Amino acid sequence: MSIPQTFIQELLARADVVEIVGRYVQLKKGGANFMGLCPFHGEKSPSFSVSPSKQFYHCFGCGKNGDAISFLMEHAGMTFVEAVQDLAQQYGLQVPEDDASPQDRARALEQRQKQTTLTDVLERASDAYRKQLKESPRAVDYLKGRGVSGEIAKQFGLGYAPEGWRSLASVFPSYDDPLLVESGLVILNVDETSGEEKRYDRFRDRVMFPIRNVKGECIGFGGRVLGDDKPKYLNSPETPVFSKGRELYGLFEARNALHEQGYALVTEGYMDVVALAQLGFSNAVATLGTACTAEHLHKLFRFTDAVVFSFDGDSAGRRAARKALDGALPFATDVRSVKFLFLPPEHDPDSFIREFGKEAFARYVSEAVPLSRFLIDAAREGCDLNTAEGRAHFASNAKPLWL
């Protein structure tokens, strides 16, 4: 999709960079400009300046600068088109699309409106789950037992879905609203013979983890049981706003820490992300019950140049690492770093830090296996390099990985 340059000019003239940056960074007026802590590098005293007259931001510490669009791209991780659409929506402008037919345009508009409606529905459910957490001592005890403070629970918007089959009926004016099914909150079963429709809440008696997109909007949920019920983890289904092959849990919450810490730690679950944030590693994200795809990585590399995958040291962890390796290969360049961290078999990041401490974990991360070495290890697996057959096997294993 190409957007006419004249529209970009008009949009930038209409948008206020102070307002846009102010959505993400706390700004204070200082003379003609506004100052704040730079979101692109870690600092204690503000050297990040935003000029309302020039409609520009500039950091005297790290040199980052740009306009409202580049800020949304660099800081909120949006693509150019997403940033333009975000601004246009905010300032009530319609993005003209050069190469789109009127039908395509109408369809795109309808799709965006639908997405907005779905995120509204999900936000509303998220608010309700959050309130219900406060009323459930069992759920609060569960989180406390995992070492999660009220502050971290608030930061991640954690909630609780109560036990009943139709708890959401008290949250929405109409439980039969098709949007509840479309957003994945409600399951609709149609009896094959009678044609009778049955609706019930997808998430019941679970601690709820809202999944947010890079704009901070709720696009789905992960729910974890409090006890030993199965399935232990339940995610929202694929919807027009949520695709687990694309979204990373915790990315929105981690975006500042990614700049400060200089790398992203990719873990295996949302509880890992929350536990790590609690222990001072706010730069963790997690895939949602899938292997890490190239699309996940593409998104991550908009925020950071270094990614460390953390895997449990068991065989399932090894297999997951192999899949992540395949996804990561296209991104391995001189400027980007991809590493693999294998925890001891009985540990996840949370238990590791609790047993050995933060410094030990940070050291462990710094000694993670670089992609190039993991690549060779993966190819060598099961090959006896002392024999000609073993070496041939190794070469044939390695071939698809080099290409």
| Chain residues that interact with Zn ion, rule: CB under 5 A | 38, 40-41, 59, 61-62
Residue 39 CB, nearest approach to Zn ion (Å): 8
Q: Is the torsion defined by CA of 90, 96, 99, 100 positive or negative? A: positive
Crossing angle of helices 358-366/349-356, nearest 10°? Answer: 120
Residue 259 CB, nearest approach to Zn ion (Å): 8
Is residue 133 within 8 A of residue 140, CB to CB? The reply is yes
Q: Which residues pair with 160 in a beta bridge?
A: 207
Residue 110 CB, nearest approach to Zn ion (Å): 40
Question: Which residue type, as a one-letter code, is found at position 74?
Answer: E
Tokens of residue 314, six digits: 């068991």
Give the nearer residue to Zn ion in terms of CB position, either 262 or 289. Answer: 262
Tokens of residue 295, six digits: 């699309």
Residue 77 CB, nearest approach to Zn ion (Å): 17
Residue linked to tokens 């390796």: 325
- At residue 20's C-alpha, the angle toward residues 14 and 22, to 5°, is 140
Give the nearer residue to Zn ion in terms of CB position, either 23 or 319. Answer: 23
C-alpha 246/C-alpha 183 separation (Å) is 17
Residue 161 CB, nearest approach to Zn ion (Å): 41
Alpha-carbon distance values, 175 to 165, 180, 341 (Å): 12, 7, 46
Characterize the bridge pairing of strands 284-286 and 306-311.
unpaired
Residue 86 CB, nearest approach to Zn ion (Å): 22
Helix (H, G, I), strand (E, B) or coil at 313: coil
